[in-house]
Amino acid sequence: MPLPATALAELATIAARYPQARSGLLPMLHLVQASEGRITPEGIEACAEILGISAAEVSGVATFYTMYKRKPVGDYHVGVCTNTLCAVMGGDVIFERLKDHLDVGNDETTADGKITLEHVECNAACDYAPVMMVNWEFMDNMTPQSATQLVDDLREGNEVRSTRGPKICTWREAERVLAGFNDGLADEGPAAGPASLVGLEIARERGWTAPESGRRTAELAPPSSPEAAAEEADTSRAESETKVDESPADTKHVDNPAKGDEAK
């Protein structure tokens, strides 16, 4: 079925955002999913025509990235992280429980069309393992019980919020956001939760700081001449000889502050 005229106009709008129109292909494919519920052959043709590239090129991109779906996705895409940390913290158990509870396999949709279940790779949220995603919103610190309650609420139409705040919308609405159409909710919820900030707190307590950017830049800059390179090598050698002369016990000031603490 051809895409609606509004979707075609929005695809052209996305392409026009980029100096090179084909750079808009990824968000355009998200918009096809928002409109059609999956990547359709007609959606591929429409993108190709607007961008002036072949359907094979569009298809190559759409089949490469796992966020593009060729089968219809349910109202809610539920991802369970089964990468190493989440897996050992309970992700594998959650995924198995949900497969049983929903009576679906990986990348399958429930008979009522509500939930598509998929195991997903690390979401860079390991400090909240085991983590799930609903339409790419985080659900942190999940358990088999909270996971089954989550999918039951989604199927029953109850309001569900990410553990980080935002209200869960439908998969198609989320795809529209990924296509670059702002839903005004980008700032809902915290940018980073307490577990992600523990390292920063420790660094502040102990006065740890990053190297000065100017010094680092100078260190990384190549010598301006062979003479400068020789002088730099002499200085570096002298510095390392000085360090060797220092007492072995004086190891408080080292690159790795943790080692300094051990020495205290």
Q: Which residues bind ligand FES (CB under 6 A)?
A: 81, 83-86, 122-123, 125-126, 129, 131
Closest approach of Cβ 204 to ligand FES, in Å? 25
Element (H, E) at 77: strand 76-81
Output 63 or 84, the one with its CB closest to ligand FES: 84
Closest approach of Cβ 86 to ligand FES, in Å? 3
Output 59 or 83, the one with its CB closest to ligand FES: 83
Output 68 or 138, the one with its CB closest to ligand FES: 138
Closest approach of Cβ 164 to ligand FES, in Å? 13
Q: For residues 134 and 244, what is the distance between their CA atoms, to the nearest angstrom?
A: 56
Residue nearest to ligand FES (CB): 86
Closest approach of Cβ 49 to ligand FES, in Å? 38
Output 136 or 181, the one with its CB closest to ligand FES: 136
Output 96 or 183, the one with its CB closest to ligand FES: 96
Are the C-beta atoms of 130 and 86 separated by less than 8 Å?
yes
Alpha helices in the chain (DSSP H): 5-16, 25-36, 41-51, 55-64, 84-86, 92-102, 144-156, 171-178, 194-206, 213-220, 226-245, 257-263
Q: Please name every residue paired with 80 in a beta bridge, in sequence order, or none if there are none.
A: 119, 132
Q: For residues 130 and 208, what is the distance between their CA atoms, to the nearest angstrom?
A: 30
Closest approach of Cβ 12 to ligand FES, in Å? 37
Cis geometry, peptide bond prior to residue 2 (ω within 30 degrees of 0): no
